[in-house]
Amino acid sequence: MHMARTEPGKAAERVSARGLFRGPDRCCREHDRCGTQIAALQFGFGIRNYRPHTVSHCDCDAAFRRCLRALNDTISDLIGVTFFDLLEVPCFVLRRAEQCVRWHWWGG
């Protein structure tokens, strides 16, 4: 989502490449660097991402939304509306599941 990048999912690394809108760029860059993501058309965390863009953990998307809202400016509002309302980019949550460690012949 970073506004100055040239490739999907690649955050700008240099200050000079961050673009004119530093506040929204910071929010987008932090979201791009979320540690829990599934790249476009990839499989991760037991989930297949069939979308043409990266999906992030819901905590990362919530932090992105808070960051944009805190800026309280037009471009941040536009990015938020586009990402969350128009595109409706999904997120995912990881949950612990019971795991079988030993099987018995009667199925228990």
| Set 25, 31, 32, 57: catalytic member | 31
Which residue out of 2, 32, 57, 61 is catalytically annotated?
61
Identify whether 77 is a catalytic site residue. Answer: no
Q: Is 31:6 a contact under the CB 8 Å cutoff?
A: no
Residue 104 annotated to the active site: no
Please give the full DSSP string across 39-108, using - where no structure is assigned. Answer: -TT-EETTEE--SSS-EEEHHHHHHHHHHHHHH-SHHHHHHHIIIIIIS---EE------------TT--
> Active-site positions?
31, 61
